Structure 1
């Protein structure tokens, strides 16, 4: 069915939705190439030490003799890979040390060998024949170990590093300072204050689609099918490891089955797959196992945060301090930037933020949904709840009193801020005015009921991107960009943007992604894809419409021949006069009568730049309100109701936007109540199970948007939605649990054991004061 223009703002179904639900959608592991071979990894079982040369030789001989084995790569025979340049490693989680480049072991799950065989089963069996032996070394498995023990010397010219450090900024964003201080040096006395330690656990991304790669060489040209959400960055990093030109690499990732940050960078198994494919001279497929995903594609690292708030007699904040201790690997940099929100969220004349990163013997961490904000707002928003109780005022009122109309970090105005509307609308819809202040006041059917709330925030980002337009005499107008469909509906909203800006209907437009041969786009993360790629698509579509009208008025056979193109418009796929008078002409009919060479001007590439560095600061905001039920007899907490109101600029597709927020809230629910990667504290081996929220844990959702465009950030008025749904969620749940039980729980996840502890209302317990 043909849909009319003005598609933006409508709840359009996903353009790839039917393919996904019918099984026709092709993900990386589904790709089948002629002559395909299969790879399996051998991984380390100790956190630190050296693998013995003898066991590698014996393992190689045993695996090579197994049925169907084509080659075996180990540190003893792997063609050397080059370390990537500092520009990729000093503030991104790209590993400095190439895989299989030495005999040292830096973490459990480190790649020790790669086996390639004619079938997946033969490769997996041959990999089990490795029985590696090690010369163990004392590991440092926590930030506490690193800070309390002597610092070993760095190794391999700094590819392997030890000790702790304090990074200046978050990834490439130099304005997002990880060490910051404003106001006086002394902490004000204040009328009210709170100071506490908050911790968050190691979280795994756990996407449904396992990471997979297929590599094929055609002469000197490498084609990689990968589950990645940064194809242009992966091409750059892979070219550095392989020491070949970027132009000789093509990355394909048309559909990605979830990522949450785990597929934002080049991981080492992809580089090894490329080496193996060159070695055996045939395509190689490597699909990680679920266990290998825990050690090979990143995670959210642990954090320990010390947060202090001081307020005056009117409960206005005078001082904020947030000091974070977190962890990374010995072979790559990453800092969980928990203190970024504290720099601007509430009015605070004095601010001190610091981040210390300890290099431990664990896999490399990376971005995870709401990096920094998710764990950082847990501490800040629980502390705000504690401060409200210390001051004897409602937690919502405390936030309203300390709302700020400018970005304190830069001193610049906001491009648009509607947080107060989020607070007030959310409170009204939730019924917050009926909330009793005292904890343990509400019960239902024999269980405790608690109401909690928290603020959500996440930056509005935009980077440079490009979009290609292709037009022929039949079929849809094709827009393409090297971005990614990670399940968030980017192909759908780009189709909506293109259709409206070009004046066409949805079925006259197609948007393609996931190919590094398309114009460059940044990684799909940091809630920036819609603003970034959408700006390029919008520019391309506007330019396409203008070029079309110029062709139409120059066509002597057109009913608009010799007209002024500025007097014409395109709407619903029809060319007509702006004033509505005179004839009309269908775009499709006009294109169908043309020769291909007549349409060359409608095939071009448009680009869009990043955000204006000197303009207002773009930031999204929101408010989460939740109800929990706590059965203290069995230690069960469940979230029963959720109201969220968000200020994320213009909402292009309310159905997809609401789904994104629902997913983000569920993500935060898991972080609050369930998720922690279970490791043996002595061996660093995975133990137990990783618990995730299911449909049974889903609350009743009421999600809405303020929906005010932010045209300061981009020409389509949007800010990202993917991350903000998670930000603030764990704090809202923890605050609701306090309201239900009187127990102030500051460690995530909130476990059965902590919920079953007897209630203690003494001030020392953190109970009501």
Structure 2
């Protein structure tokens, strides 16, 4: 079962409209809340004129800092910020009249219908005292601080000396603009209070995490907060943080005494749920004449907000990917009056691999070496930053297999010299990589007397297929038909599960679910041999086999496993498993990382500069892939994300205001942009990391793609573009 290309458990529900999302749950007499946003980037609210909306009949309440409930900090006590002492960092929504960025939530209009709530939000008159805010993202180059020395500042060897003694040196700057998540499902929340018990339907990537944060905010025991997210229409990082709108919906429901629904508009998504920040990266590489890297440096300049502490960690990948004995990594940030950045598919790695892999291409060009062979020469079996061997690494096989599939031998190494049907043709490649993450959790697994197996754990499916892969793992391990497995997730009342972030759910939940299935199988076996009516009474437990929903001793046809439950006189036989139990964690003493190689063909019109990408080929080493169909979808999605990063996406600001906050002006890839995608994976299990041998695949597909596109465009045109996105105006 593990590895099969199974259809999604809820595929039919999704395409037929039966699957419910956060805003679609029916509640009794709901109110609707719309947020009012600040029009300035810095300053203080002087007055909110409630009379400006009092003639709108459906409005029930206006909530602002003057009457809002005072919330506690959602951060755990250990999650303070040691880097910068600032009262703003721990600020909760509607805590005061201060404004830190354009688009900040400053009030909520609550009405009996959506239209009146929207009308009220648009009419509400607010006056401000403007402050002197900083919105110039380039200012971080000269006015910055360096946080978290053990994590974001690092060096080994003697970079300066090695660089000065090297035969060949390149040093260039690469720039990525601000980018925004645009999932199909807009962020939304439905909140219902029943006394001191709060139920929240939320578009979240972490039901357990949100449960804890909401409980802290309202001073509740976590058991009195229930967060439900049975289906999520895409996340990519923007739904992994407990943003103000979730807390404000619960606040409005508390203050009005009625259920409240709130949804963000597409424009709101550009100010309310984070973004990938603009980064300027300087990469220096130094090598001997044979192509062996002797020194490297990766300096990152970016920003965080006045009310947050997110850092885009671009250089971390460079510190471990290649065998560079002398290395320096620095991260520098400024505090700006912009919304707080956050995780966005491959945070740090997607941005960092663009700069590193473009620089690797430039160095290969300067050395007159093939880019693939240059990378193979500098491959390493150890993570030099952690000083640990990789648990499993087959990157060289990815390079060679990818080159074979793509036809890399046909590449013209002389840029701008390959012309076909009137367009310039170029071939480029890059390395993909992303760390393998694991976290704790627990589950309950139950065999019921009707033969169905029920799994419950409080993780969630953000569109990646978590229901299905967990069902496959249970079916495979317990030896029951896939159709007999019922997976219930997306509810914080279930045993605690992991956040959908860091590509970790399959590795984390998948491992403890598999071990729970083994525990249940053992319990069923011991129960069967202890039942006098059983055909297997008092036989050796090791002789029992579980297959196709039956238990047997190998010499007989066997009987249905539900007979064990029925003979017991109980409704079910159940086990609970948590990662505290022996064997649930990965082995120590290894670095865990996934790898890949991506190859791109770019066509460029020599007169108009129009770019098309006719084909992309990628090969990945990500451990065991649990479901080939869903795995392919994840890789396709990641590659398309990287396509958007390389050629289209760019959030534009004017004095802190987003000017292209819609899908008409913020460009994302559509079907017409994407042509042939060829994905292959080595499918070599990594049992040191997880019980089923799999690592995460949700984010690695994005890494390296933008660089491979840039490198292919250089090979086609001879023009090196170091500032994303690569658009025709930069080529002609």
TM range, normalised to the smaller chain? over 0.9
What is the Cα deviation at residue 634 of structure 1? Answer: 2.1
**Structure 2 length-normalised TM:** 0.96
Contact 2:428–2:600 (CA<8 Å) still a contact in 1?
A: yes
Give RMSD over aligned pairs.
1.9
Relative to structure 2, which stretch is displaced further, 76-85 or 113-122? 76-85
Q: d(CA) in 1 for partners of 2:328 and 2:18? A: 53
3-state SS in 2 of match to 1:552: helix
Aligned to 2:4: 10
Q: d(CA) in 1 for partners of 2:226 and 2:495? A: 12
Contact 2:22–2:190 (CA<8 Å) still a contact in 1?
A: yes
Q: d(CA) in 2 for partners of 1:339 and 1:743? A: 25
Seen in structure 2, the aligned counterparts of structure 1 residues 240 and 645 have a Cα distance that, compared at 3 Å, is same
What is the Cα deviation at residue 95 of structure 1? Answer: 6.0
Q: d(CA) in 2 for partners of 1:187 and 1:121? A: 66
Q: d(CA) in 1 for partners of 2:201 and 2:460? A: 13
Q: d(CA) in 1 for partners of 2:127 and 2:236? A: 35
3-state SS in 2 of match to 1:238: helix
Relative to structure 2, which stretch is displaced further, 738-747 or 72-81? 72-81
Q: How does 1:637-652 map to 2 (within 5 A)?
A: 637-652=611-626
Q: How does 1:32-181 map to 2 (within 5 A)?
A: 32-53=26-47, 56=48, 58=49, 60-85=50-75, 86-88=77-79, 90=81, 96-145=90-139, 164-168=144-148, 177-181=151-155
Relative to structure 2, which stretch is displaced further, 117-126 or 323-332? 117-126
Q: d(CA) in 1 for partners of 2:140 and 2:271? A: 20
Contact 2:179–2:649 (CA<8 Å) still a contact in 1?
A: yes
Seen in structure 2, the aligned counterparts of structure 1 residues 95 and 34 have a Cα distance that, compared at 3 Å, is farther
Aligned to 2:331: 355
What is the Cα deviation at residue 393 of structure 1? Answer: 0.8
Q: d(CA) in 1 for partners of 2:624 and 2:80? A: 35
Contact 1:143–1:359 (CA<8 Å) still a contact in 2?
A: no
Matching residue within 580, 594, 602 for 1:620: 594
What is the Cα deviation at residue 242 of structure 1? Answer: 1.7
Q: d(CA) in 1 for partners of 2:714 and 2:83? A: 37
Contact 1:142–1:327 (CA<8 Å) still a contact in 2?
A: no
Deviations 1:452-492 (A, max 9, x none): 00000111111111111133222521111111101111111
Aligned length: 722
Aligned to 1:663: 637
What is the Cα deviation at residue 592 of structure 1? Answer: 4.9
Deviations 1:95-149 (A, max 9, x none): 6211111111111110010011111112111112212121111221134335657
Contact 2:647–2:725 (CA<8 Å) still a contact in 1?
A: yes
Deviations 1:179-216 (A, max 9, x none): 10000152422111110010001111100000000111
Q: d(CA) in 2 for partners of 1:210 and 1:367? A: 17
3-state SS in 2 of match to 1:116: strand
Aligned to 1:399: 375
3-state SS in 2 of match to 1:510: strand
Aligned to 2:287: 311
Q: d(CA) in 1 for partners of 2:218 and 2:176? A: 37
Aligned to 2:648: 674
Aligned to 2:393: 417
Q: d(CA) in 2 for partners of 1:706 and 1:433? A: 21
Contact 2:450–2:562 (CA<8 Å) still a contact in 1?
A: yes
Aligned to 1:326: 302
What is the Cα deviation at residue 685 of structure 1? Answer: 5.0
Deviations 1:142-186 (A, max 9, x none): 34335657xxxxxxxxxxxxxx432227xxxx7xx2110000152
Aligned to 1:152: none
Q: d(CA) in 2 for partners of 1:560 and 1:614? A: 40
Aligned to 2:576: 604
Seen in structure 2, the aligned counterparts of structure 1 residues 92 and 583 have a Cα distance that, compared at 3 Å, is farther
Contact 2:651–2:658 (CA<8 Å) still a contact in 1?
A: no
Aligned to 2:545: 569
Q: d(CA) in 2 for partners of 1:483 and 1:440? A: 50
Q: d(CA) in 2 for partners of 1:536 and 1:704? A: 27
Aligned to 1:376: 352
Deviations 1:255-311 (A, max 9, x none): 111010000010001111111101111110001100001100110000000110000
**Structure 1 length-normalised TM:** 0.91
Contact 1:63–1:115 (CA<8 Å) still a contact in 2?
A: no
3-state SS in 2 of match to 1:165: coil
Seen in structure 2, the aligned counterparts of structure 1 residues 273 and 91 have a Cα distance that, compared at 3 Å, is farther
Seen in structure 2, the aligned counterparts of structure 1 residues 495 and 333 have a Cα distance that, compared at 3 Å, is same
Q: d(CA) in 1 for partners of 2:418 and 2:576? A: 63
Aligned to 1:556: 532
What is the Cα deviation at residue 605 of structure 1? Answer: 4.2
Seen in structure 2, the aligned counterparts of structure 1 residues 631 and 291 have a Cα distance that, compared at 3 Å, is same
What is the Cα deviation at residue 629 of structure 1? Answer: 0.7
What is the Cα deviation at residue 613 of structure 1? Answer: 7.0
3-state SS in 1 of match to 2:514: helix
Contiguous gaps of at least 5 residues in structure 1: 1-6, 150-163, 757-769
User: Are 1:491 and 2:467 matched, yes or no?
Assistant: yes
Contact 1:319–1:351 (CA<8 Å) still a contact in 2?
A: yes
Aligned to 1:452: 428
Q: d(CA) in 2 for partners of 1:559 and 1:683? A: 74
Q: d(CA) in 2 for partners of 1:257 and 1:495? A: 20
Relative to structure 2, which stretch is displaced further, 361-370 or 187-196? 187-196
What is the Cα deviation at residue 583 of structure 1? Answer: 4.7
Contact 1:38–1:286 (CA<8 Å) still a contact in 2?
A: yes
Contact 1:435–1:451 (CA<8 Å) still a contact in 2?
A: yes
Q: d(CA) in 2 for partners of 1:183 and 1:64? A: 68
Q: How does 1:706-721 map to 2 (within 5 A)?
A: 706-721=682-697
Q: d(CA) in 1 for partners of 2:420 and 2:128? A: 58
User: Are 1:440 and 2:434 matched, yes or no?
Assistant: no
Seen in structure 2, the aligned counterparts of structure 1 residues 18 and 95 have a Cα distance that, compared at 3 Å, is farther
Deviations 1:524-557 (A, max 9, x none): 1111111100011001111111111112112222
Seen in structure 2, the aligned counterparts of structure 1 residues 613 and 52 have a Cα distance that, compared at 3 Å, is farther
Contact 2:283–2:356 (CA<8 Å) still a contact in 1?
A: yes
Relative to structure 2, which stretch is displaced further, 358-367 or 605-614? 605-614
What is the Cα deviation at residue 681 of structure 1? Answer: 4.2
Aligned to 2:502: 526
Contiguous gaps of at least 5 residues in structure 2: none
Deviations 1:64-96 (A, max 9, x none): 442121211011111111233453453999962
Q: d(CA) in 2 for partners of 1:240 and 1:505? A: 42
Q: d(CA) in 2 for partners of 1:197 and 1:437? A: 24
Seen in structure 2, the aligned counterparts of structure 1 residues 405 and 146 have a Cα distance that, compared at 3 Å, is closer
Q: How does 1:721-736 map to 2 (within 5 A)?
A: 721-736=697-712
Q: d(CA) in 1 for partners of 2:51 and 2:216? A: 31
Relative to structure 2, which stretch is displaced further, 440-449 or 465-474? 465-474
Q: d(CA) in 2 for partners of 1:91 and 1:401? A: 41
Q: How does 1:623-638 map to 2 (within 5 A)?
A: 623-638=597-612
Contact 1:143–1:325 (CA<8 Å) still a contact in 2?
A: no
Matching residue within 182, 195, 204 for 1:219: 195
Q: d(CA) in 1 for partners of 2:556 and 2:65? A: 75
Q: d(CA) in 2 for partners of 1:265 and 1:422? A: 34
